[in-house]
């Protein structure tokens, strides 16, 4: 028997607790508990409210969406309210959903559509006569935030509809999300900068859209897909499927896969198929959405306070495991950041064994109230990064120990500091062996200078014996230096020396990447190589020049400037040069893949509107090659002012000659 007094107490407690989690989830994009725990609280609340209808209130979190307007954005009222969906983790409830639908529209033939469900941020985008005029978040369903400026930065969002004539008004609704790969890279960058990391791709997308500076949003790898409509004028869609196809024909991104079925059994089969494919999607799926295909019956089926009765979301049980947190260790990174790491009793999650997971920083540990000895839930954030998502507090025995970060670097004993605006603690000792070790590991790694044999064990010894104090020292190592070390026979020592020597003539982008400039990953390094012929050009480049490069935004540009402004870093470059490491773009450097792949151009004479370097960089960025001599294989000779012998040779060989304006046109057509 339930006790009404304690039921009422629990109900109030649940409402308060859910409101608090709404605030953390929607406003701060920093949830404390995983989704399924939240869904459990909500279900408990709904069960209590159903048992005691007299306690129901219109403002209960079970009846309204949790999102409040954000400061700094204009509020917009939705022409048609934006609803959410009823969620379930249980297939039997889908069968019950089907029964309700059939009862609601007896004798009406209809079909279902099943779509993947992405966990992101719901948005609405309004087009008038085919032109984007407004983008907004869902907010409380009635009013949301105007995020037009932010959404405009998304490449996948058309600013103008294409194809068939567009209706007078078309409001499309969908999800903004962050693909898994982009999420992983973004978090890596943030961690290196000492910033807080996002718990999962959804938080990363939500946190990004809340930015007041659209330039920051532009640097976040966000995408959008549309799956519903709001206000419509001048267009009628009979079925959901027809609507999706119309979206596609206007150039709007939609799901590449969806299934249509007559019966709930067909839908359940399709749902299994979707689940099997779920990890192959470039973004994280959290379930499937089942909708009645025939839009004509929507009004008849109607709506609850929060969601339509003609659709339901099925959510996957999270791939999660519970295990014990044995201890928390501290790792010192390349930039001196101290990262607490959870040492776990090994456990299998989504097919792999996890025994360590980053806890990011002290704030995270406190926020989740993680204690040594706790039973914790482990997931893979973005399906890749092992993460502790919460604590099973009910399993506490009282023996769990709160954790405090050390005030000294565990590697060198130097005092640690917290820079303003950062969450991370840092060892600021530039000679901290831990930082040097991480730098060397990165420098030698396959993605950077690719020095085979220079692995962790060797790096540790080289640093401990002070044989290497900075990367360039690697090039001074002798057979004698190496032969005396553990696990280093004469032959393997010679092999290591050979691969060190071979790394002197790597591509320019590899050394740029190996320098370990914050924010400069392999891809940015390649973009820099396409623009600059040598490290020296990069060292002297200004912010404007850097920002003009595709893939390089203000943050990355600022980080490059700061790196080379530091005399110590410039001396690292000088030392590499003195050691004989290639610091220029190699003539045979592989060009990017692009519309000009396989084409060779020769530039001759003076160009008026761009420098030769710029022209070269732009051609290379499109996959073309620029060579210095004309042959029968040359595709075009670009003749500027006072073109000389190369021009004559082109005429003789019958190679097409174009002027600067034609080159500009060719580049523009593909850029």
Annotated catalytic residues are 117
C-alpha distances out from residue 310 to 67, 110, 124, 228, Å? 23, 11, 20, 13
The residue within the footprint of ligand IVH, chosen from 311, 425, 512, 556 (CB under 6 A), is 311
Give yes or no for residue 227 binding ligand IVH (CB under 6 A): yes
Residues 161-220 that bind ligand IVH (CB under 6 A): 175
Bridge partners, residue 223, by sequence: 177
DSSP string for 57-74: -TTSTTTS--PPPPTTS-
- Judged by beta carbon, residue 289 or residue 630, the one nearer ligand IVH is 289
For the CB of residue 81, give the shortest distance to ligand IVH in the complex, in Å.
Answer: 9
The whole-angstrom distance between residue 270's C-alpha and the CA centroid of its chain comes to 28
The residue within the footprint of ligand IVH, chosen from 29, 132, 228, 301 (CB under 6 A), is 228
Residue 96: which residues within 8 A CB-CB, separation 6 or more?
Answer: none
Give yes or no for residue 222 binding ligand IVH (CB under 6 A): no
Which helix (H) or strand (E) is 228 found in, with range? Answer: strand 223-233
610: left (phi over 0), alpha (psi -120 to 50) or beta: beta
Give yes or no for residue 308 binding ligand IVH (CB under 6 A): yes
For the CB of residue 121, give the shortest distance to ligand IVH in the complex, in Å.
Answer: 7
For the CB of residue 208, give the shortest distance to ligand IVH in the complex, in Å.
Answer: 16
- Judged by beta carbon, residue 83 or residue 217, the one nearer ligand IVH is 83
For the CB of residue 83, give the shortest distance to ligand IVH in the complex, in Å.
Answer: 4
Burial 374-409 (b: 16+ CB within 10 A, else e): bbbbbbbbbbebbbbbbbeeeeeeeebeebebeeeb
For the CB of residue 120, give the shortest distance to ligand IVH in the complex, in Å.
Answer: 7
C-alpha distances out from residue 554 to 202, 510, 560, 580, Å? 24, 22, 10, 32
Burial 276-308 (b: 16+ CB within 10 A, else e): eebeebebbbbbbbbbbbbbebbeebeeeeebb
Contacting range for ligand IVH; rule: CB under 6 A; set: 17-25, 77-85, 394-402, 444-452:
77-85
Contacting range for ligand IVH; rule: CB under 6 A; set: 8-16, 100-108, 112-120, 603-611:
112-120
The residue within the footprint of ligand IVH, chosen from 94, 101, 113, 122 (CB under 6 A), is 122
d(CA 100, CA 427): 61
Which residue, 84, 77, 614, 605, is CA-closest to 309?
Answer: 84
Which residue, 478, 542, 535, is CA-closest to 512?
Answer: 535
d(CA 413, CA 407): 9
- Judged by beta carbon, residue 153 or residue 254, the one nearer ligand IVH is 254
Alpha helices, DSSP H, located in 417-473? 433-444, 456-464
What string marks each residue from 28 to 67 as x (binds ligand IVH by CB under 6 A) or -?
----------------------------------------
d(CA 596, CA 610): 19
Which residue, 134, 147, 20, 156, is CA-closest to 74?
Answer: 147
How many residues touch ligand IVH (CB under 6 A)?
15
- Judged by beta carbon, residue 274 or residue 528, the one nearer ligand IVH is 274
What string marks each residue from 237 to 276 as x (binds ligand IVH by CB under 6 A) or -?
----------------------------------------
The residue within the footprint of ligand IVH, chosen from 289, 462, 485, 517 (CB under 6 A), is 289
Contacting range for ligand IVH; rule: CB under 6 A; set: 28-36, 111-119, 411-419, 483-491:
111-119
The residue within the footprint of ligand IVH, chosen from 45, 118, 125, 270 (CB under 6 A), is 118
- Judged by beta carbon, residue 291 or residue 585, the one nearer ligand IVH is 291
Give yes or no for residue 388 binding ligand IVH (CB under 6 A): no
Contacting range for ligand IVH; rule: CB under 6 A; set: 113-121, 183-191, 349-357, 643-651:
113-121
Cβ neighbours of 106 (radius 10 Å): 6
- Judged by beta carbon, residue 303 or residue 329, the one nearer ligand IVH is 303
d(CA 442, CA 461): 16
What string marks each residue from 390 to 429 as x (binds ligand IVH by CB under 6 A) or -?
----------------------------------------
For the CB of residue 209, give the shortest distance to ligand IVH in the complex, in Å.
Answer: 13
Give yes or no for residue 87 binding ligand IVH (CB under 6 A): yes
The residue within the footprint of ligand IVH, chosen from 11, 85, 468, 601 (CB under 6 A), is 85
C-alpha distances out from residue 35 to 39, 261, 317, 318, Å? 6, 29, 10, 9
Whether 374 contacts 327, CB under 8 Å:
no
For the CB of residue 123, give the shortest distance to ligand IVH in the complex, in Å.
Answer: 9
- Judged by beta carbon, residue 259 or residue 475, the one nearer ligand IVH is 259
Put the strands of the sheet holding 259-261 in their side by side order.
87-88, 311-315, 285-292, 112-118, 259-261
Which residue, 429, 420, 472, 492, is CA-closest to 578?
Answer: 472
For the CB of residue 232, give the shortest distance to ligand IVH in the complex, in Å.
Answer: 14
Query: Quick one: tokens of 535?
Result: 């490290």
What string marks each residue from 313 to 332 as x (binds ligand IVH by CB under 6 A) or -?
x-------------------
For the CB of residue 283, give the shortest distance to ligand IVH in the complex, in Å.
Answer: 11
For the CB of residue 361, give the shortest distance to ligand IVH in the complex, in Å.
Answer: 30
Which residue sits closest to ligand IVH, CB atoms considered? 122
Q: Helices (H) and strands (E) in the chain — how many of each?
A: 24, 24
Judged by the rule CB under 6 A, the positions of this chain that interact with ligand IVH are 83-85, 87, 115, 117-118, 122, 175, 227-228, 289, 308, 311, 313
């Amino acid at each position: 028997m339930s006790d009404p007094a304690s039921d009422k107490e629990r109900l109030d407690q649940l409402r308060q607790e859910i409101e608090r989690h709404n605030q953390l989830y929607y406003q701060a994009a920093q949830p404390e508990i995983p989704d399924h725990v939240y869904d459990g609280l909500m279900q408990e609340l709904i069960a209590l409210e159903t048992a005691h209808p007299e306690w129901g209130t219109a403002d209960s979190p079970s009846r309204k969406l949790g999102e409040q307007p954000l400061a700094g954005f204009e509020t917009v009222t939705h022409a048609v309210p934006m609803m959410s969906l009823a969620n379930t983790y249980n297939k039997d409830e889908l069968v019950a959903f089907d029964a309700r639908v059939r009862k609601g529209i007896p004798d009406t033939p209809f079909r279902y559509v099943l779509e993947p469900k992405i966990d992101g941020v719901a948005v609405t985008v309004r087009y008038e006569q085919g032109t984007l005029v407004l983008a907004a978040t869902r907010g409380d369903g009635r009013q949301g935030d105007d995020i037009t400026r932010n959404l405009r930065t998304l490449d996948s969002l058309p600013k103008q509809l294409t194809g068939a004539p567009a209706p007078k008004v078309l409001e499309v609704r969908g999800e903004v999300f962050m693909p898994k790969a982009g999420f992983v890279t973004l978090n890596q960058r943030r961690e290196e900068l000492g910033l807080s990391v996002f718990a999962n791709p959804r938080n990363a997308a939500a946190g990004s859209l809340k930015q007041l500076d659209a330039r920051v949003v532009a640097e976040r790898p966000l995408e959008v897909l549309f799956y519903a409509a709001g206000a419509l004028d001048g267009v009628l869609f009979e079925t959901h499927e027809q609507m999706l196809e119309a979206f596609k024909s206007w150039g709007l991104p939609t799901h590449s896969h969806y299934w249509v079925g007559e019966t709930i059994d067909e839908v359940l089969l399709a749902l299994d198929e979707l689940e099997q494919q779920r990890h192959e999607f470039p973004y994280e799926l959290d379930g499937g959405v089942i909708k009645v295909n025939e839009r004509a019956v929507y009004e008849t089926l109607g709506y609850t306070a929060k969601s339509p009765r003609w659709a339901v979301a099925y959510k996957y049980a999270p791939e999660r495991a519970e295990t014990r947190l044995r201890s928390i260790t501290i790792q010192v990174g390349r930039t001196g950041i101290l990262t607490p790491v959870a040492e776990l009793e090994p456990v299998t999650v989504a097919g792999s064994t996890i025994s360590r997971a980053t806890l990011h920083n002290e704030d995270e540990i406190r926020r989740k109230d993680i204690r040594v000895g706790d039973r914790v839930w482990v997931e893979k954030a973005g399906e890749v990064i092992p993460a502790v998502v919460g604590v099973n507090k009910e399993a506490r025995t009282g023996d769990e120990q709160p954790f405090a970060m050390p005030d000294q670097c565990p590697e060198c004993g130097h005092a640690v500091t917290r820079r303003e605006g950062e969450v991370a603690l840092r060892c600021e000792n530039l000679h901290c062996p831990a930082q040097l070790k991480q730098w060397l590991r990165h420098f030698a790694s396959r993605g950077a200078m690719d020095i085979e044999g220079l692995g962790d064990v060797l790096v540790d010894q080289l640093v401990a014996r002070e044989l290497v104090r900075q990367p360039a020292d690697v090039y001074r190592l002798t057979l004698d230096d190496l032969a005396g070390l553990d696990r280093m026979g004469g032959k393997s020592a010679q092999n290591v020396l050979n691969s060190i020597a071979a790394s002197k003539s790597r591509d320019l982008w590899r050394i740029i990447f190996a320098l370990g400039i914050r924010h400069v990953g392999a891809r940015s390094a390649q973009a820099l190589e396409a623009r600059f012929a040598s490290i020296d050009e990069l060292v002297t480049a200004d912010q404007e020049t850097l920002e003009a490069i595709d893939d390089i935004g203000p943050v990355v540009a600022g980080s490059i400037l700061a790196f080379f402004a530091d005399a110590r870093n410039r001396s690292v470059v000088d030392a590499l040069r003195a050691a004989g490491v290639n610091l220029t773009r190699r003539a045979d450097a592989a060009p990017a893949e692009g519309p000009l792949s396989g084409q060779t151009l020769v530039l001759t004479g003076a160009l008026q509107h761009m420098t030769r370097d710029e022209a070269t960089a732009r051609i290379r960025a499109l996959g073309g090659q620029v060579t210095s001599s004309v042959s029968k294989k040359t595709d075009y000779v670009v003749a500027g002012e006072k073109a000389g012998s190369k021009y004559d040779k082109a005429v003789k060989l019958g190679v097409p000659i174009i002027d600067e304006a034609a080159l500009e046109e060719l580049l523009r057509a593909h850029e």
